[in-house]
Amino acid sequence: MTAVATSCKVLVNFQGDQVDVNVSDNGVGLPTNFTPGLGSVILESICGENWSLTSSPSGGCTLTATVSLEH
């Protein structure tokens, strides 16, 4: 299955020692049987619980993540 998106919007906002990232598209959204994969594991290791992947009722997906820049 493909997302069938025709556009994608990426917003990046720097606030102090963190970066907020928002990626959204106008595709078909997440399948009902969506199973998280390697990308979810990587985001969890980088962001902890500060990320989400959701479908919009009108279609498409939105990924939001907050990444700390502290060492």
Percentage of the residues of the chain whose pLDDT score is greater than 70: 96
pLDDT at residue 64, as a whole number: 96
Q: Compute the distance between CA of residue 21 and CA of residue 28 in angstroms, rounded to an integer.
A: 21
The model carries a pTM of: 0.84
Q: How many residues can be counted in the chain?
A: 71
pLDDT at residue 31, as a whole number: 86
Over 80: is that where the pLDDT of 7 sits? yes
Question: What element of type H or E holds 46?
Answer: helix 38-47
Q: Residue 61: is it exposed, middle or buried by C-beta count within 10 angstroms (0-12/13-18/19+)? A: buried
Tens digit of each residue's pLDDT (9 = 90 or more) over 37-69: 999 999 999 999 999 999 988 889 999 999 998
